[in-house]
A and B are shown apart, each in its own frame.
Chain A
Amino acid sequence: EAGVAQSPRYKIIEKRQSVAFWCNPISGHATLYWYQQILGQGPKLLIQFQNNGVVDDSQLPKDRFSAERLKGVDSTLKIQPAKLEDSAVYLCASSLDPTTNEKLFFGSGTQLSVL
Chain B
Amino acid sequence: GQNIDQPTEMTATEGAIVQINCTYQTSGFNGLFWYQQHAGEAPTFLSYNVLDGLEEKGRFSSFLSRSKGYSYLLLKELQMKDSASYLCAVRDLDNAGNMLTFGGGTRLMVKP
Chain A interface residues toward B at CB < 8 A: 4, 31, 33, 35, 40-45, 48, 50, 55-56, 58, 91, 98-99, 101, 103-109
Interchain CB contact under 8 A, B43 and A106: yes
Interchain CB contact under 8 A, A43 and B48: no
Other contacts beyond A55-B97, A103-B45, A106-B42: 5, CB < 8 A: A45-B99, A98-B91, A99-B98, A101-B30, A101-B98
| Closest residue of B by beta carbon distance from A108 | B42
B residues in contact with A55, CB < 8 Å: 96-97
B11 interface residue, CB < 8 Å from A? no
- Size of the B side of the interface (Cβ < 8 Å), in residues, is 25
The number of residue pairs between A and B whose CB atoms lie closer than 8 Å in the complex comes to 61
Chain A CB count within 10 A is highest, among B33, B43, B44, B50, for: B43
The docked-state distance in angstroms from the alpha carbon of A45 to that of B87 is 14
Interchain CB contact under 8 A, B48 and A42: no
Instruction: Bits for B2-24, please: 1 = Cβ < 8 Å to A, else 0.
Output: 00100000000000000000000
Shortest distance between the CB of B3 and any CB in chain A (Å): 12
Shortest distance between the CB of A72 and any CB in chain B (Å): 15
Assess A98 versus B97: contact at CB under 8 Å? Given A42-B102, A42-B105: yes
Shortest distance between the CB of A43 and any CB in chain B (Å): 5
